[in-house]
Amino acid sequence: MKPLSTVIATLVAVAVIGATGTGLYIYAGGYDIGADDHHTAPVASIMTTLRNRSIQNHAKALVVPNLNDPQLILKGAGQYAAMCTDCHLKPGQSDSEIRAGLYPQPPNLSRVKVDPKAAFWVIKHGIKMSAMPAWGGSHDDATIWSMVAFVEQLPTLSPEAYKAIVAKAPPDDDMDMDKDTGDRDLGNHGPGRP
């Protein structure tokens, strides 16, 4: 039997060699970070677990408001239509030009239920190294909760019901990019605007 100090020294040496090799591989640019070349199964598993556990941990203390308020849902419909459909789709939409090139593929929110706390946290803070931006820098919490309220309803909507609620949504004032010139995101139009 080897002395404990020899076992510990061997484990430390293996860890140092492994860390050095990993560092050299990363620094040399050996890993293909392109969105069109998916992660290996172990890397995908680690990244998925990291993402899910991080969101769960950071969102657990949030207090969910009443998401059944019709005005909140209506406001969220306009926000969703203006900012989310290219990646997360809408009822009746199966893909988009931008979504086809995204990895990881964003969830189709017209087909899945999401945890409201997780949805709020992700909308507010975004997700690193994905196409999910952090909307908290340009939208207040009340507006983000309106998006969550709408996302809660989204899987229950037909394409016709989706179009109807978006048509009734209030003007999307949060998308005003330059109030001095009147330039707006979405080609100078947003839900509720001519």
* Rg (the chain; Cα; Å): 22
Instruction: Provide the 3-class DSSP secondary structure of residue 177.
Output: strand
Instruction: Provide the 3-class DSSP secondary structure of residue 183.
Output: strand
Distance between CA atoms of residues 17 and 101, nearest Å: 37
Give per-residue pLDDT as tens, 130-161: 999 999 999 999 999 999 999 999 999 999 99
Of 190 and 20, more confident:
20
Over 60: is that where the pLDDT of 120 sits? yes
What is the sign of the dihedral through the CA atoms of 119, 121, 124 and 129? Answer: negative
Domain 41-184 has CATH 1.10.760.10: yes
CA dihedral 187, 71, 144, 165 (to 10 degrees): -40
Of 173 and 36, more confident:
36
Give per-residue pLDDT as tens, 166-185: 999 987 654 443 434 333 33
* Tokens linked to 133: 């931006």
Instruction: Provide the 3-class DSSP secondary structure of residue 2.
Output: coil
The values of phi and psi at residue 55, to 5°, are: -60, -50
Which residues are registered as beta bridge partners of 184?
A: 176
Over 80: is that where the pLDDT of 119 sits? yes
Sequence spans of domains, the chain: 1-30, 41-184
